[in-house]
Structure 1
Amino acid sequence: MSSPGLREHRKATNRAAILDAATRIFSEMGYEGSTVRDIVRASGLAAGTFYNYFQSKEEVLACLVGDLSSDVRLVVEKARRKATNAREFVFEGYLAFFRTLGSEPSILDMVSRNQALFRSMVFGAGISSWTESTAPSPDEAEPPREEHAAVAGILQDLKKDLSRAMSADILAPMDVHLTALALIGAGFEILLAMGKDPSLGPEQAAQFLTELFLQGMAPR
């Protein structure tokens, strides 16, 4: 009989193998064009093993997005909270974001191949947050998809950090929600550009957006 430690290690290894395989399959075939069978085949595991962890490719996607969102929230919030001025707030936040997602080719490939899907998560989270006050009651509302809820967490973190930075005079006062949508939307589109242009690295991407938001487009 295997020890509890060995069983946990095997479970973690199998889960990682499934998620890695799904990332490759979603990158190569697209999310809509892939099946559980494709993921199982790429993972090298048995179909029964797959179903010990996930019941569908939808669950796999939700897990992938949830893991990525957790990583992003952790590093980006930490970077922004160290900021003592507006430039640091914008640049360090974007740099952490791009280093987390933009430095891994498989992630960039997956996002680029499934742009419409990921756009729906990013901007769907924004619309959902915007209409919270007029949403139906909990008994009437349709439960949000897990991956949309995970992305919405990134937006909520940013809004909290923006409010804190504005209160501390690190940033000028402005509409927090619209600012958060603009920052996230621009970051997502530049992330897609990084997937198409390997020469565009995290530092350059973060610097571009920092100049855009802080200096604007007017001639100087």
Structure 2
Amino acid sequence: MSKTFIAAKPETGKRERAKAANRDAILVAARHVFAELGFEATTVRDIIRGTDLASGTFYNYFKSKEEVFEALARQSVTQFRPRLQDVRKTATSFEDYISGAIRAYFQFLMDSKRTNQADDLHHIPLVGVRVDTPEMQAVFQEIRNDIEDFLARQGAGDVDTEYLTAAAIGVARELGDCMVSRKTGDEGQIIDQVTAFATNMILNGVRDLIKDIKTE
């Protein structure tokens, strides 16, 4: 028995494209406003003012400014994960992984900053963003699994990897936001300096627990 396929109505496709465009417009406006006013001072009204949309339209796509912020954070997570996967493939030790992952994150922030500047946008600090979203939890667990794997290879499997992962992510996020706020300086040199600083901080913090990791 042959099947009959019904093509989607053109109006449906047009409506979906309009909805996607409206959502993107809200996200772009939110990025501007969050960067300019800060998350706490920003209101939904501020975000809508940056679009051509009616005020009530916002709630067709997001429940709150917190949900918009989390959507922006998820975009960053999705874009960063392939870089983390590359680090995992090439790292040969725990030290290599920590240094490589942190450098990849800082390079990602610098690349994003450059792209945002070209689009007249700004970097939004992610410190304080919720970490209990599925995307954030997935990345946390991914990094934790990597850390556990590399530590096990070096015979240091008794370390509390939940604490260690949280500390590593926290250091990277705080220093990364500080790094991109600097107005001048050679990009490569800045990334080298902040990577070394963050890596040494993390490795020195666990040197009494992991005896065979080079910390100098």
Using the size of structure 1 for normalisation, the TM-score is: 0.69
Q: Which has the larger radius of gyration?
A: 2
Alpha carbons 1:108, 1:195 under 8 Å: kept = no
Cα distance, 1:75–1:175 mapped onto 2, change above 3 Å: same
Tell me the amino acid that sits aligned with residue 89 of structure 1: Y
Between the aligned partners of 2:107 and 2:52, the Cα distance in structure 1 is: 30
Kept after mapping to 2: 8 A contact 1:69/1:150 = yes
Aligned to 1:79: 87
Partner in structure 2 of residue 184 of structure 1: 169
The structure that is helix-richer by fraction is 1
Within the candidate set 116, 124, 132, 1:110 is matched to 124
The Cα of 1:92 is off from its aligned counterpart by 2.0
Of 188-197 and 207-216, more deviation after overlay is shown by: 207-216
Aligned partner of 2:195 in structure 1 is 206
What are the residue-to-residue correspondences of 1:13-162 with 2, within 5 Å? Answer: 13-105=21-113, 109-111=123-125, 118-119=127-128, 121=130, 125=131, 146=133, 150-162=135-147
Amino acid aligned to 2:141: Q
- In the TM superposition, residue 187 of structure 1 has moved relative to its aligned partner by 0.6
Query: RMSD of the TM alignment (CA)?
Result: 3.3
SS in structure 2 opposite 1:43?
coil
Percent identity over paired residues? 31
The alignment of Structure 1 onto Structure 2 pairs a total of residues equal to 190
Residue segments in structure 1 that go unaligned for 5+ positions in a row: 126-143
Q: TM-score, normalised by structure 2?
A: 0.70
How far residue 190 of structure 1 moved from its aligned partner, in angstroms, is 1.0
**Structure 2, unaligned stretches of length 5 or more?**
1-8, 208-213
C-alpha distance in structure 2 between counterparts of 1:168 and 1:212, whole Å: 22
The answer (yes or no) to whether the contact 2:123–2:180 under 8 Å persists in 1 is yes
SS class of match (1:110) = coil
How much does 1:24 deviate?
1.0
